[in-house]
With several copies, the nearest count.
Chain A
């Protein structure tokens, strides 16, 4: 097994799918010549030509719309939105066309599009390049939403997403891009909608996803020293969401902390707690805790920025609350 970065795992997934299926293509700002700001699509335009890896004008609304339309007539577009913050520009065709087409037209067409969007806080790039807005899309029936956090998952799930006939939004945390991990040589896929247990434990369950999986790991390591055993569930997919795995873990630990990097209010953390209490109120020995970012835009100043998002300490504190 090769050890590669998450960034490379995305490139691999896209390259293999471009080669496998001539209906797959990539479009977005600077995905071609420049190979995307993070180098993720580097070389692909040369390899597959200017009609398979398409540099777009700064027209997020319409180029996403073009992708949606191309999907309706049988293509499998990979549309890249440079930062998840810019999804606002493309909301209409994502929500009102991509998500609703199959239903609204009675199954006459599918929209097998994948929209990739780097998201999350970090690097002092301020309010308009740092957003976590994944729960908007979880709230839109007809979409799927994935957030793979390891190179292995990313490659396998992105490939599944490309082959899925429903529209999928893939949120990629910018801080995860350089994370390395093992990825097998040959072809493999990972089904959408299955969570992964990152760490087995018996005292408290942490339900999280994306970059917060790593921060939760740090917290778990620290807690381990005190003999507190944490089970970490990396959801990987937010819609569909694998409540079977979540509830099985809670059945064991009877305590749960849900961690998201999104501003807590209106985030998926509430959604998950809502489902947990519906599905297993009696399993809970303590109130489920939610940890999320503070409810502010993201500041430029890095000290302020650091205050916004959950740190290891915040997660540890939440875990302790479940143990009080």
Chain B
């Protein structure tokens, strides 16, 4: 009863809300795969906070929790050779693109076996081998470089596609506007995905923008633009499909505003003191994983048993990753201190 009332309230205030249905062309297998990926992201992220509290992981850590449908929904259309650009909240993007949780965890532990050889940490997580171009600490700054990878595809006339993520906060970085304009001018094969969780740390989007429907910015630059329900993986998948096909066909960029709401704190220890959490609480009802699970159960796409197995497997993978990072990896050797500042082994002290 309370739940139904809450849902009605959500539908009223969350204008991007869309009912779930299985879009044309989306197989059951693909659904299960996406679901598993979402669960793996969730389990990974849930494991990090305790590690952070236990001082195993340090620095800034921003979880991708409840954003899973966005990254997974669009990245599931990508090939290995395609690229993604990320934000400061990059773990989910790594996993969705097919990255390795062991190496990611090792990096969070600052170990030499980590993706970044312990140099980067959470905020700079990257797996170039799967085309995940790296998280960034400068909000908004990774967009132009990612569009640069689309520029490569355009120059080379290849058909790979780049997807680039940024938040509602990051969207206000001018270089993103500049990048959108160039992508539109030259019809670059890129999809802009704005993860609009309506908050940038403690700043409500309403206080720092005049137009809260961010997809309209895309239109201003001549880019076909859509708003999707960011809690709804089916909606995300369907709109992304069009966008990726368009890009792959050389027809140019698309802008997708994936509207959502930040349900957790901004980072590991943020307790949301600055906002009214009573408004937020009810959205857990439509958080993307439970929502997809419920929908799949209702529509006989999945069984309870399968759901449990997926969860167990995810937990196992994450536990193994922690075990790996904690006990099987080593500190970067201090002798390697100058490595990678320059390339090809060149050392300039």
Contact = CB atoms under 8 A, between A and B. Distances in A.
A55 B202 CA distance: 9
Contact of A73 (B124, B148, B331): B148
A28 B145 CA distance: 15
B341 A103 contact: yes
Nearest to B349: A295
A69 B175 contact: no
Interface in B126-141: 126-129, 133-134, 136-141
Contact of B203 (A55, A74, A304): A55
Contacts of A112: 343
B338 A166 contact: no
A104 B120 contact: yes
Interface residues of A, number: 77
B147 A65 contact: yes
B117 to A, nearest CB: 3
A126 B119 contact: yes
Contacts of A109: 126, 128, 133-134
A19 interface: no
A142 B155 contact: no
A282 B120 CA distance: 42
B38 to A, nearest CB: 26
Contact of B110 (A54, A58, A300): A300
Nearest to B111: A301
A22 B148 CA distance: 16
A57 B331 contact: no
Contact of A128 (B58, B136, B172): B136
A75 to B, nearest CB: 5
A186 interface: no
B344 interface: yes
A71 interface: yes
A189 interface: no
B208 A57 contact: yes
25 contacts: A57-B169, A57-B178, A57-B185, A58-B170, A62-B179, A64-B144, A66-B148, A68-B148, A70-B151, A71-B148, A73-B152, A93-B145, A102-B340, A102-B343, A106-B118, A107-B339, A125-B137, A126-B123, A126-B137, A128-B124, A129-B123, A166-B346, A240-B348, A300-B110, A301-B331
Interface of B: 58-60, 83, 85, 107, 110-111, 114-121, 123-124, 126-129, 133-134, 136-149, 151-152, 154-157, 169-170, 172-176, 178-179, 181-182, 185-186, 200-203, 207-209, 274, 331-332, 334, 337-344, 346, 348-349
